[in-house]
Amino acid sequence: MNENPLHYQTIGELSRQIHSGELSPVRLTEHLLDRIEALNGGLNAFCLVMRERALAEAKAAEMAIDAGSSLGPLHGIPYALKDLCDVKGYATKAGSPLMVDNIAAEDATIVRRLARAGMILLGKTNLVQFAYGGVGINHHDGTPRNPWNGETHCVPGGSSSGSGVSVAAGMAPMAIGTDTGGSVRIPAALNGTVGLKTTVGRVSTAGVFPLSFSLDSIGPLTRSVQDAAWTYHAMHGPDPRDALTAQAARHDPMPALHAGVRGLRLAFAETVFFDGVDEEVAAAVRACGRIFEEQGARVLSIPFAEAEEAQALNPRGLVIAAEAYAFHQERMERDFDRIDPIVAHRMKAGASVTAGEYIRLIRSWEGLRGRMLESLRDVDALLVPVTMIPAAPLDEIDRSIESYSEHNLKYLRNTAIGNILNLCGLSLPCGFTAKGMPIGLMIYGKPWQEDVVLRVGQAYEQATDWHKRHPELTWAGDPE
């Protein structure tokens, strides 16, 4: 008998009960919808709840499973969707009041694929406006509240802020996020969940509101590594609607998931990643090395010059700024004062990027990625902190644009390096600060090696119990 309440159980635990007949998908969906209704006023994770649609999908799943037509482990499992992804007939607002009339004509590929796996869409989650920021602040729709601090409104991380909060608070067992500079991994780290950043081109972004054509990726936030692996397996693969996925041959991460780390070469990347990192964060991440060594991995410390080069070749985030400005130019010129200032002023920098600067940066990234593969020839995965600091109080960060910029860098620095290098990465809980805020370990893998980072993450998770902790939410209206 599982002692955890339904809302804190993993997809694996819920799926076993659903497929054995112990748990009805309708009952599970109703439970989560009621929980969202009770908690969302205090946490602000969801911007849209699709109660009628979710219950209809749950009833259909229940009938199919009862008839012996199961679609697999995700069948009958509810999830939440970042409001950057199209759902036919609903507005994709991208965190902005300017987009209320942006009604989707069809589902995003990610929505189609999860529906094909039998998943149930609960609703859409809040985010940083236009997905442009690592702190999680949205001045128009409100900033979701990190569930781990009942006394102070601490930031949730961004830009997939509501997705991170929804999973951590037991409102959904899985939520979809996007990651351009860290927007899956930062909310995962700050909220104490698992978050998978996929290689660009691995998961289709068709029907997903863009931030940066060069860097956008999609990944799940979950309560366990196995849950992330199952979701990833359902999501990835070639899609004719997205040319970048042409080389993304499907593969199954599950056979190697439980293979352990014996014989693998794992390395702390010392260049840049640990510089200026909060002492509690650094200590928790360093302690992971001993856990891996006890399981038979060879744990090294290596210089990683490409991290420093990646920083140098991303001056002021100009590639993202240029691509974002190109997409939003008309909106920026017409409605600049109606865009969240922490987004508008960063995006405006893209207007001054010349074609020559942009092309030189993109070409430089290509060469850097090649050198990076050579440097990591004898390494299976890197171990680094996700963020430089844990979740901080909202008021402390949002007091000035200078304070916001400083904190945004501290959340984005380590993750953005991976985006520039096109690494895949997994964030998972590896400890808590003295104040009770989660700390995230980031496992970086080479491009297209999501199976490796999931395998390493699974080994760590099985040897620890950080992922089993849950926030106390009576202050937010938790009925249980």
Active site residues per annotation: 82, 159, 183
CB atoms closer than 10 angstroms to residue 478: 18
Q: Is 84 within 8 Å of 111 (Cβ atoms)? A: no
Spatial separation of the C-alpha atoms in residues 309 and 220, rounded to whole Å: 29
DSSP collapsed to 3 states, the chain: CCCCCHHHCCHHHHHHHHHHCCCCHHHHHHHHHHHHHHHHHHHCCEEEECHHHHHHHHHHHHHHHHCCCCCCCCCCCEEEEECCECCCCCECCCCCHHHCCCECCCCCHHHHHHHHCCCEEEEEECCCHHHCCCCCCCCCCCCCCCCCCCCCCECCCCCCHHHHHHHHCCCCCEEEEEECCCCCHHHHHHHCCEEEECCCCCCCCCCECCCCCCCCEEEEEECCHHHHHHHHHHHCCCECCEHHHHHCCCCCCHHHHCCCCCCCEEEEECCCCCCCCCHHHHHHHHHHHHHHHHCCCEEEEECCHHHHHHHHCCHHHHHHHHHHHHHHHHHHHHHHHHCCHHHHHHHHHHHHCCHHHHHHHHHHHHHHHHHHHHHCCCCCEEEEECCCCCCCEHHHHCCCHHHHHHHHHHHHHHHHHHHHHCCEEEEEEEEECCCCCEEEEEEEECCCCHHHHHHHHHHHHHHCCHHHCCCCCHHHCCCC
Which of 202, 92, 183 has its CA nearest to residue 135?
183
